[in-house]
Amino acid sequence: MRWPVIICIGAALASCGEEMSEAEKEEQDRVLVERVREANDTAPPLLEVVPEPILYPDIEANDLFGLACSYAPGTSMGARVIAREADAFVKVDGEMIRFAADPGSRELPANTRSLYNGREYSLRLDIQDKQPGEQVGDGGALLYEGTVWLRDRWDRVIYQGTGAVDCGA
Residue with the bigger pLDDT between 88 and 34: it is 88
Residue 109, helix vs strand vs coil: helix
Residues 11 and 77 in one domain: no
Residues 61 and 115 in one domain: yes
pLDDT of residue 91: 96
CA atoms within 13 A on the CB side of 70: 22
pLDDT of residue 6: 53
- Has residue 111 been placed in a domain? yes
Question: Could you tell me if 81 and 125 are in contact, meaning their C-beta atoms sit under 8 angstroms apart?
Answer: yes
Q: What's the DSSP call for residue 134?
A: -
Residues 33 and 84 in one domain: no
Mean pLDDT of 142-161: 92
pLDDT of residue 129: 61
Question: Could you tell me if 72 and 65 are in contact, meaning their C-beta atoms sit under 8 angstroms apart?
Answer: no
- Has residue 49 been placed in a domain? no
Instruction: Specify the number of domains making up the chain.
Output: 2
Residues 33 and 109 in one domain: no
Threshold 0.75, pTM exceeds: no
pLDDT digits (tens, 9 = 90+) for 33-87: 988 888 877 778 888 899 999 999 999 999 999 999 999 988 777 899 999 999 9
Domain of 135 in residue numbering reads as: 56-168
Question: How much of the chain exceeds pLDDT 70, in percent?
Answer: 82
